[in-house]
Amino acid sequence: MRTITVEEFKRVLQDIPSNPRVLASGNFATPKTLLEAFDSVVPNYTLHMLNAQIGIPDREGVKYETAFVGPGMRNSPRLDYVPSRLSLLPVLIRDHLIPDIVLLHTSQRRFDTVSLGTEVNILPAAIETVRARGGIVVAQSNKQMPYTYGDAQIYENEIDFLIEVDEPLAEHHPIHLTPTAKAIGEKIAELVKDQSTLQMGIGAVPDAVLELLQKRSGLRIWTEMFSDGVLNLHKVGALDDEVPITASFVFGSRELYDWLHLNRRVQMLRTEKTNDPSQIAKQARMTSVNAALQVDLYDQANASRVRGRIYSGFGGSTDFIVGSLHSRGGHSFMALPSWHEKSGSSNIIPLVDEAVTSFQHSFVVTENGVARCFGRSQTEQAQNLINFAAHPKARESLSQAGKKMGLL
């Protein structure tokens, strides 16, 4: 590994192949310095990032590629969406979406390593692939990035060039909970037992659930990502201190990042491990909470498309739904508001006409109630969704549709 300046990095880029595929740290760990320098030198390239945020290079000549669409790529005419479960994305990177260069956002050096900090995810697979194919790995080493352990630790000999930076990290602060989000969170929290293992993402419903679980004991965390809600569980002693907190990326406050720094209680693992359904299934009382845009009377969920266009993607939801159902005592929750206020329509619908993201959930939860689905007949599923999850204004029309579909 050689430490270089931004100007030296630009000169290095003169030797890379034309129209390369560049894979960069995604989510909330965008390597801004590296991307800006790269974009200023390379006229045409494919940019692969997970959940890319606003502020990435956006011009003709830059083609976007991702398995999970973030706001930085959403609705772009230059987007290639690649459908994939997150657990399988490293396989695609190894065999199909092979990068020529990997741009990392890392911590400062510690002995002969740096850490991927808040964003591990698919990056270890990308590093291995690009090195096996003769590409280059470049890191921006940020003194504000926490040093985390597990698969986050990268040895100097795995990196070709390093540029030292001092950049603030993106932060998330919980928003005010709406009555709907709070009602959904309360209904889910009531069904979570002590000694459960939790997977929850970011957003109003996970925030509400985690806040309401602070009086539980022996909780464990095996998740794709987490935020300050997990730190708050730690503060009140609700977590099992003997079991590591396992995740693949983190997004939260500066306080959370400071807590993560050199904290061996947290193990940051690569996606192939955190999202492996067989590993998820081994966790005690695995409890996954995911969100959907629509759920139909067959308990099929659309969580990725709006009016036929890709909005996000599978993400890790399918991995955790399957893993949770295989866990002894595990449950999969699918959460959504029962009613779409802007369109004045029900989010519980007769039949999903978009691509189905997932199916078979333990419970579908709205502000109105809990519909028990797994282990029920198709008739019981439909009845429970109508009677407990659907908005009262939609129940009659859903019942009529269910009869026409032969469900009721």
pLDDT 10s digits, 358-374: 999 999 999 999 999 99
Can you point out the beta strands (E) in 234-313? 245-247, 249-250, 266-268, 286-291, 294-296, 300-302, 305-306, 309-310
**298, HSE (Cβ side, Cα atoms, 13 Å):** 12
Report residue 222: phi and psi, to 5°: -135, 105
Confidence of residue 203 (pLDDT cuts 50, 70, 90): confident
Q: What is the largest CA-CA distance in the chain?
A: 69
The pLDDT value given to residue 181: 93
Question: What domains does the chain contain, in order, with CATH numbers?
Answer: 2-165 (3.40.1080.10), 179-404 (3.40.1080.20)
Q: Which of 65, 119, 224, 272 is catalytic?
A: 224
Task: Tell me the CA end-to-end span of the chain in Å, nearest whole number.
Answer: 66
What percent of the chain is modeled with pLDDT above 90? 94
* Mean pLDDT value across residues 237-244: 97
Confidence of residue 204 (pLDDT cuts 50, 70, 90): confident
The pLDDT value given to residue 151: 98
Residue carrying the six token digits 């061996």: 264
224 catalytic? Reply is yes
Q: Is the pLDDT of residue 176 over 90?
A: no
Name the residue type at position 74. R
pLDDT digits (tens, 9 = 90+) for 342-357: 889 999 999 999 889 9
Output the CA torsion sign for 197, 202, 205, 210.
positive
Distance CA 146, CA 202 (A): 20
pLDDT digits (tens, 9 = 90+) for 245-270: 999 999 999 999 999 999 999 999 99
The answer for residues whose C-beta is within 8 angstroms of residue 5's C-beta and 6 or more apart is 163
Q: Is the pLDDT of residue 89 over 90?
A: yes
52 three-state secondary structure = coil
The pLDDT value given to residue 175: 76
The pLDDT value given to residue 69: 97
Can you point out the beta strands (E) in 326-399? 331-335, 339-340, 345-346, 348-349, 358-359, 363-366, 369-372
Q: Is the pLDDT of residue 223 over 90?
A: yes
Confidence of residue 174 (pLDDT cuts 50, 70, 90): confident
Q: Which of 198, 22, 51, 213 is nearest to 118 (CA)?
A: 51
Confidence of residue 190 (pLDDT cuts 50, 70, 90): very high
Q: For the chain, give the mean pLDDT.
A: 96
* Mean pLDDT value across residues 6-17: 94
Radius of gyration of the chain (CA): 22
Instruction: Please check whether residue 24 is in contact with residue 102, taking contact to mean a CB–CB distance below 8 angstroms.
Output: yes
Token readout for 100 is 């020529």
Distance CA 254, CA 235 (A): 16
pLDDT digits (tens, 9 = 90+) for 273-299: 999 999 999 999 999 999 999 999 999
20 three-state secondary structure = coil
The pLDDT value given to residue 173: 81
* Mean pLDDT value across residues 21-45: 97
Distance CA 57, CA 183 (A): 40
* Mean pLDDT value across residues 199-226: 92
* Mean pLDDT value across residues 153-175: 94
* Mean pLDDT value across residues 314-332: 95
